[in-house]
Amino acid sequence: MIKISISFLILFLSFGFSDKQAAMEANGIRYTENAANIFKTGMIKGMTMPMHSKVENFDYGPTLNEIKDLGTEWVQINVKFYQENYRSSLIKIPFENTPFWFNLEATIAKAKALDLKISLLPIVRLDRTTATEWRGSIQPDSKSIWYTSYIQMIEKVAFLASKHEVEILSIGSEFTSMQGDSLEWKDVISSVKSIYCGAVSYSVNWDALDKLSFVDELDILGVSCYYPLTRYNNPSLRNLKKAWTSLKSTLIMEQENLNIPIYLSELGYTSQDGTNTNPWNYAISEDIDLEEQKDCFQAFVSTINNDSNFHGAFIYDWFDKGGLKDLDYTVKGKPAEKVLRDWFSK
> What residues does each domain of the chain span?
6-345
Distances (CA, A) of 242 to 97, 229, 235, 245, 339: 51, 9, 11, 5, 18
Residue 276: pLDDT band by 50, 70, 90 thresholds? very high
What percent of the chain has a predicted confidence (pLDDT) above 70? 92
Each residue's pLDDT tens digit, 307-325:
889 999 999 999 989 999 9
What pLDDT score does 341 carry? 98
What's the average model confidence in pLDDT over 98-116?
98
User: In the predicted model, is pLDDT for residue 130 greater than 60?
Assistant: yes
Each residue's pLDDT tens digit, 38-90:
999 999 999 999 999 999 899 999 999 999 999 999 999 999 999 999 999 99
User: In the predicted model, is pLDDT for residue 258 greater than 60?
Assistant: yes
- Report the C-alpha gap between 187 and 91 in whole angstroms: 17
Fold of 6-345: TIM Barrel (3.20.20)
Residue 10: pLDDT band by 50, 70, 90 thresholds? low
Tell how strand 117-126 and strand 199-205 pair up.
Answer: unpaired
Q: Please tell me which residue, 308 or 201, carries the higher pLDDT value.
A: 201
What pLDDT score does 7 carry? 52
DSSP sequence for 112-130: HHTT-EEEEEEEEEESS--
What percent of the chain has a predicted confidence (pLDDT) above 90? 86
